[in-house]
């Protein structure tokens, strides 16, 4: 069963979005998790037209199943 990295992003009163990406290996490297977080943060900032410094990172998790939240975005 494929495993996924998931993390939510938010900013002030804007709606929160959860991002996910399939892991390349069963144990995620630090570089892979940092790249995922940076990509999710950049996408959220771009989508909402805000500076990346205003984006609040939610809890990062790896080894997860495919999220089924309607606000989930694959990156």
pLDDT digits (tens, 9 = 90+) for 25-62: 989 999 999 999 999 999 999 999 999 999 999 999 99
pLDDT band at 1 (very low <50, low <70, confident <90, very high): low
Eight-class DSSP state of 8: E
CA 12 to chain centre: 17
pTM of the model: 0.92
Query: Given the DSSP bridges, would you call strands 61-64 and 56-57 parallel, antiparallel or unpaired?
Result: unpaired
Long-range contacts, stretch 27-33, CB < 8 angstroms, 24+ apart: 28/62, 28/63, 32/5, 33/5, 33/60, 33/62
């Amino acid at each position: 069963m494929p495993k996924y990295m998931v993390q939510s992003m938010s900013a002030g009163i804007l709606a929160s979005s959860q991002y996910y990406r399939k892991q390349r290996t069963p144990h995620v490297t630090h570089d892979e998790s940092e790249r995922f977080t940076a990509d999710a943060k950049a996408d959220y900032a771009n989508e909402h037209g805000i500076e990346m410094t205003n984006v609040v990172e939610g809890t990062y998790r790896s080894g997860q199943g495919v999220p089924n939240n309607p606000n989930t975005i694959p990156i």
